[in-house]
């Protein structure tokens, strides 16, 4: 069934709530884990849960990579997940065209966060010969989010592409000015 | 879809293989690097709109097959493991997920 919010040429609406809620739930789970780990790194808590790899988590969370930034790397993760969750929530089911900026921001938050997670997973055994269970769980979450988030980004980019073909302002379309949408709609309407 | 699920499992196996089969050094490093990357691409390829990403695992698969010679693995189980997983990953990468959905012309639409 094609609802009116579905982008042209799509069989479903990637900005529909049933598409976005799972991503938001994942992001909140990741935020919980990353917050827990950063509390340990900030020495608020003295222990970290590690059921499988002995002192693995302790070694990873105190490694030099974890301290490259002026704040714990898990805190960066927590911020990233929060950005993902907020980026998932903001806007209605037509946001791929009404607010492309939030969709693009959301995509930029999800993509690089996943990339950094995978890099950190590689560092664990290669640099430190240790594994950290919750760090792996967090990485699984951020990698799982990438695919489901990208369809919405694609819909927004396609919309911006169609704006470019008209004489409407791409800049205004990106920030979701009201008038642009109608202008594009009128133009696309006469094309097809 | 099953091909991507299998590839993501093989990637996880590669992360564990050096410990399970008992080898370390450069062979273990290759497995520890290629494993997470293969799993990541395979998981991303589970989504219809990014299913083509699964093809990138051909690079990882072929590298696994070639690495024992290029880097000179010295442990027979690491060589066997690299070749078998490399062949499987490459083969499964060739399967692209079927989808009934349409994505407004997909990513290539952006380049037109």
CB contact under 8 A, B104 and A144: no
Give tens-digit pLDDT for B29-74: 999 999 999 999 999 999 989 999 999 999 999 999 999 999 989 8
pLDDT digits (tens, 9 = 90+) for A73-126: 899 999 999 999 999 999 999 999 999 999 999 999 998 888 999 999 999 999
Mean pLDDT computed over A15-40: 95
Measured between alpha carbons, how far is A118 from B38 in angstroms, rounded to an integer?
10
Chain centroid, CA A128 distance in Å: 28
> pLDDT at position A170, please?
85
Q: What angle do CA A48, A53, A57 make, to 5 degrees?
A: 35
Candidates A2, A121, A153: best to mutate against B (most CBs of B within 10 A) is A121
pTM, two decimals, is 0.91
By Cβ distance, the residue of A121, A139, A151 closest to B47 is: A151
Q: Express the helix, strand and coil content of chain A in percent, nearest 5 each.
A: 70, 0, 30
Candidates A9, A14, A143; nearest CB to B43: A143
> How far is the alpha carbon of A35 from chain B, nearest alpha carbon, in Å?
23
Q: How far is B101 from chain A (nearest CA, A)?
A: 6
Predicted confidence at residue A70, as pLDDT, reads: 87
């Amino acid at each position: 069934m094609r609802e009116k919010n579905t982008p042209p040429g799509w069989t479903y609406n990637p900005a529909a709530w049933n598409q976005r809620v799972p991503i938001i739930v994942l992001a909140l789970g990741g935020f919980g884990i990353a917050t827990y780990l950063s509390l340990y790194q900030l020495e608020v808590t003295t222990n970290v849960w590690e059921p499988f790899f002995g002192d693995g988590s302790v070694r990873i969370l105190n490694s030099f990579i974890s301290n490259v930034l002026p704040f714990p790397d898990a805190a960066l993760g927590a911020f990233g997940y929060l950005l993902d969750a907020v980026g998932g929530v903001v806007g209605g089911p037509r946001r791929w065209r009404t607010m492309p900026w939030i969709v693009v921001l959301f995509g930029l938050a999800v993509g690089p966060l996943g990339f950094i997670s995978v890099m950190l997973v590689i560092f664990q055994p290669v640099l430190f010969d240790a594994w950290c269970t919750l760090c792996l769980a967090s990485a699984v979450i951020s990698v799982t989010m990438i695919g489901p988030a990208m369809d919405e980004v694609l819909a927004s980019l396609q919309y911006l592409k169609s704006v470019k073909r008209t004489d409407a302002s791409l800049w205004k379309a990106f920030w979701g000015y009201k008038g642009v949408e109608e202008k594009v709609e009128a133009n696309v309407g006469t094309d097809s | 879809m099953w091909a991507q699920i299998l590839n993501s499992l093989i990637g996880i196996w590669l992360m564990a293989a050096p410990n399970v089969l008992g080898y370390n050094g450069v062979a273990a490093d290759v497995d520890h690097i290629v494993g997470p990357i293969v799993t990541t691409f395979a998981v991303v390829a589970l989504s219809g709109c990014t299913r083509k990403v699964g093809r990138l695992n051909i690079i990882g698969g072929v590298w696994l097959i070639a690495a024992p010679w290029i880097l000179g693995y010295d442990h027979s189980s690491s060589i066997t493991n690299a070749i078998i997983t490399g062949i499987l990953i490459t083969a499964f990468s060739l399967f692209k997920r079927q989808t009934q959905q349409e994505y407004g012309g997909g990513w290539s639409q952006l380049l037109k």
